[in-house]
Amino acid sequence: MGDELLEVTEKQTLTREAAAARLRALADQLARHNQVEFERDGMRYTADVPAEVELSVEIELGDESEIEIELSW
């Protein structure tokens, strides 16, 4: 992509099971391929992912709890 920046932010309400299925699908793509595909507004995008990535997991517990998972390379 060169110097282009594509940033996609998606937030939706799902059941816990549906959220787990989405995470599982992403994990399967990472485990089987060197890329992750996603679709937005009818267009398909592919992100090439190297063999090694940096994984960050942040957990916040309180009135509104959150788990944030970030992969960077």
Answer yes or no: is 54 within a domain.
yes
pLDDT confidence of residue 22 = 93
pLDDT digit string (tens) for 1-16?
Answer: 456 777 878 889 999 9
Domain with 22 in it: 16-72
Is this model's pTM higher than 0.85 or not? no
pLDDT confidence of residue 15 = 98
Answer yes or no: is 7 within a domain.
no
Answer yes or no: is 65 within a domain.
yes
Tell how strand 54-60 and strand 66-72 pair up: antiparallel
Pairwise CA distance, residues 73 & 63, whole Å? 32
How many distinct structural domains can be found in the chain?
Answer: 1
Answer yes or no: is 66 within a domain.
yes
Answer yes or no: is 57 within a domain.
yes
Cβ–Cβ < 8 Å for 46, 37: yes
Answer yes or no: is 4 within a domain.
no
Cβ–Cβ < 8 Å for 72, 54: yes
Answer yes or no: is 8 within a domain.
no
pLDDT digit string (tens) for 14-71?
Answer: 999 999 999 999 999 999 988 898 888 888 889 999 999 999 999 999 999 999 999 9
Answer yes or no: is 43 within a domain.
yes
